[in-house]
Amino acid sequence: MKLLVTGGLGFIGSNFIRHMLVKYPGYEIINLDKETYAGNPDNLKDIEKNPNYTFIRGDICDSKVVNKLMEKADHVVHFAAESHVDRSIEDASVFVKTNVLGTFTLLDAALRHNVRKFIHISTDEVYGSITRGSFVETDILTPSSPYSSSKAGSDLLAQSYFITHKLPVIITRCTNNFGPYQYPEKLIPLFITNVLENRKVPVYGTGKNVRDWIYVLDHCKAVDFILHQGSIGEIYNIGGGAEKTNIEITKRILEMLKVDGSMIEYVKDRPGHDLRYSLDCSKLTLLGWKPEHDFDEALAHTVKWYVENRWWWEKLKR
């Protein structure tokens, strides 16, 4: 397989590339990444000399670069996205450009070059908030933030290329990821690193917002599974089955780092903060995939990784 991965220097993309090169040593992987603030070459320092791995610095909105690389690929896994909700509230323009126009550029090039399978990586946030029950893949999209709206737009574009042009697209929607190499603006790495720096952890509102959490390697294995066994034109929800309130997560992190609740600082809630996300993942589990990692064990491993790898994150927070 000749695989083009976009956003492969990011948190999930880099973990995915590492997983694929280990599991499939014969696969060739091209990583197209713009190297934005969250695209970190250190994430793949250990595999940069692998003969089956090629890194190309470039923008997914650049049709010349994209078309040139698409000639060399038969499968695409599209992770590249602006993904931080708070940043999208401050300035949505880069989210619309990267997540919508960038996805269009990739889909158009994939169609021109007869790509065999195009996996579009999306998010549970496109569904919006749900008080009770869980979203299934056919539910209406009601995104709340500029970030999730831009992702919903890219989902619909990807779906339209399947319906109109028969481009072999599959869409995945995953819950909150955590694990090594996550940029320290997201909740879990931010809180771990803040405590290690003896800084308070900012909890929005009451901390009662609920998210489902999945260890990043489980997400990577789900995408791998769908790449090989998923059906063209389908949408698959991916979740870890570990719904937690933000304050629960916060207290577990503080406990693991042996500090008390005085480190918590409750701050004003962000605009449009969805109360609860929840996905029904039975469509994927019926195919034979399920998460392998226990939440508490994976969180303990993640905390340990940030404790032992200050070299990786300290320069990112300066």
Question: pLDDT (tens digit, 9 = 90+) per residue, 61-88?
Answer: 999 999 999 999 999 999 999 877 878 8
Where in the sequence of the chain do the CATH 3.40.50.720 domains occur?
A: 2-177+214-238
Type of residue numbered 10: G
pLDDT (0 to 100) of residue 63: 98
pLDDT (0 to 100) of residue 90: 85
Backbone torsions φ then ψ of 201, nearest 5 degrees: -105, 125
Type of residue numbered 315: K
Average pLDDT over residues 205-220: 97
Active site residues: 124-125, 147
pLDDT (0 to 100) of residue 49: 95
Average pLDDT over residues 93-109: 95
In this prediction the pTM is 0.96
Q: Does residue 271 have a pLDDT over 90?
A: no
Kindly state the percentage of the chain with pLDDT values over 70. 100
Q: Does residue 287 have a pLDDT over 80?
A: yes
Question: Can you give the C-alpha Rg of the chain in angstroms?
Answer: 19
Helices (H), 113-177: 146-165
Q: Residue 315: pLDDT band by 50, 70, 90 thresholds?
A: very high
Q: Residue 187: pLDDT band by 50, 70, 90 thresholds?
A: very high
Q: Cα separation of 247 and 249, whole Å? A: 5
Q: Does residue 154 have a pLDDT over 90?
A: yes
Name which of 85-89, 260-264, 308-312 the model is least confident about.
85-89
Q: Residue 137: pLDDT band by 50, 70, 90 thresholds?
A: very high
Each residue's pLDDT tens digit, 109-124? 999 999 999 999 999 9
pLDDT (0 to 100) of residue 318: 86
Where in the sequence of the chain do the CATH 3.90.25.10 domains occur?
A: 183-211+242-277+294-317
Average pLDDT over residues 246-257: 98
Name the DSSP class of 55.
Answer: E
Kindly state the percentage of the chain with pLDDT values over 90. 92
pLDDT (0 to 100) of residue 272: 83
Q: Is 4 left (phi over 0), alpha (psi -120 to 50) or beta?
A: beta
Q: Residue 100: pLDDT band by 50, 70, 90 thresholds?
A: very high
Q: Cα separation of 174 and 305, whole Å? A: 23
Average pLDDT over all residues of the chain: 96
Q: Residue 32: pLDDT band by 50, 70, 90 thresholds?
A: very high
Does CATH place domain 2-177+214-238 in 3.90.1280.10? Answer: no
Beta bridge partners of residue 109, listed in sequence order: none
Residue 186, exposed/middle/buried by CB under 10 A (0-12, 13-18, 19+)?
middle
pLDDT (0 to 100) of residue 109: 98
Each residue's pLDDT tens digit, 230-250? 999 999 999 999 999 999 999
Domain range 183-211+242-277+294-317, its CATH number among 3.40.50.620, 3.90.25.10, 3.40.980.10, 3.40.50.800: 3.90.25.10
pLDDT (0 to 100) of residue 37: 87
Average pLDDT over residues 24-52: 95
Which of 230, 232, 215 lies closest to 174, judged by CA? 215
